[in-house]
Amino acid sequence: MIFNLFKAMVAMLKDEPKQANMSKYIGRRVLTSVAIVIVILVALATGLIEPNPTPY
């Protein structure tokens, strides 16, 4: 995720037409985040991990 964030920053600063645009790297970062959240939700649903019963 951090790698794609830095690649997007470089793409934004260089602005070369032949290079991949910034939205490609930002999109990868968002998809990675969504995949991580889905994995956590599946792990919670299957009982593989359990949430903290008292968050405070």
* pLDDT confidence of residue 20: 64
* pLDDT confidence of residue 15: 67
Decide which of 20 and 53 is more confident. Answer: 53
User: Does residue 12 have a pLDDT over 80?
Assistant: no
Q: Torsion angle, CA of 43/46/51/53, rounded to 10 degrees?
A: 180
One-letter-per-residue 3-state SS of the chain: CHHHHHHHHHHHHHCCCCCCCHHHHHHHHHHHHHHHHHHHHHHHHHCCCCCCCCCC
* pLDDT confidence of residue 37: 94
Give me the residue spans of the domains in the chain.
2-46
State pLDDT tens for residues 13-48: 776 667 666 677 778 888 888 999 999 999 999 999
* pLDDT confidence of residue 56: 74
